[in-house]
Amino acid sequence: MSQSLRISTSLDANGSGVNHISTRPLDHVADFPAIPEGWSYLDTAATAQKPQAVIDAITLGYSDTYATVHRGVYQRSSEMTLAFEAARRRIAGFIGAPSPNEVIFVRGATEGINLVAQSWGGANLQPGDRIMLSLLEHHSNIVPWQLIAQRTGAEIDVAPLTEDGRIDLDAMAAMLTPKHRLVALAHVSNVLGSVLDARRAADLAHSVGALLLLDGCQAVPRMPVNVAELGCDFYTFSGHKLYGPTGIGVLWGRTELLDAMPPWQGGGAMIDKVSFEGTTFAPPPARFEAGTPHIVGVLGLEAAVGYVERIGLDAIAAHEAALVAETRDALSSLNSVRLFGPEDSAGIVSFALEGVHPHDIGTILDESKVAIRAGHHCAQPLMRHLGVDATARASFGVYNGRRDIEALVAGIERVTRIFG
């Protein structure tokens, strides 16, 4: 099992925080049964491994307690409904949502963004309206807006990046006009790890009357998130990147926005009354949760939320910051390595090796039992901006530590020897 860094913080002579790193294993490292001894899993930004607490919650949900929700009058169904809605309340609290009725369960952030684009966008966008994105967005925060723009006649603008790979909010401020109806940005870049100043982004969007949607996939696993304090209007994330199961995610939206949005899918559970003459719809969140939900996925997501809350998001952020700093230091000492993104990237280090395709890096590292991501990371416009077809990416979780960094660096040194 990988060692994980024990991090404590003290103040230096100038009063700044200094991380002191120890390789003593953290108590929770053994919670991940899918990480065997000697395997360095460095692909958490793609999907996180699952702690035993989440696995147990899923197993229990499918065995002793399984039943449908919101439909049955028998005891087990009633109890599962109570558990399901308790999970909604827990997750609302996790992201600082003022009301659990603002939390909509979706399959993941991709579906959450598509829901807003098709429902809010379809009802509100008109020819000549504008949508603001940024150059570093994941395809899931580009393509849905292209589809709704084509349908409504809206147009898309793209904010540039700073030299160190952050969304350039100064440039975006100069680009925003009263024609902009919505701004959609990544809270944390899945390639560069750069963290958005979300509060400023919200203020800028609102200054021209636009709404702000944040893609929080890479933020919620590694830093505290409070949607009320951020000032955004929509926030979405996927459960599987938060140590939870696949197929479940969350879209949060402000009550007044959700109340005014039409349903985007029809079926059971999202209705008030149905007749062949017409149908009336349930209030949010039910209006946007057509059909039988991913019941056990919701329970697994709640278990994942409980797991990271017990560790503490501040502790996770400090842990991953130390890992990133040590990794960047180690890789920067190799002359053939090009690093991307800011020095203080959140849990993610992307890099390229001169003369070697990232897929070859990934394959050779896999032979050394080091798992990284290699490719365009569903961010092809960003790749073109960086002047590469793809990058290699190491991304961290609570189960990683110095041994994983050492294995990564040793593997890259092997790559350089093989390719000369």
d(CA 143, CA 400): 33
Select from 318, 319, 314, 338 the least CA-distant residue to 328.
338
Active site residue 232: no
Pick the catalytic residue from 208, 378, 383, 388: 378
Catalytic positions, written as ranges: 378
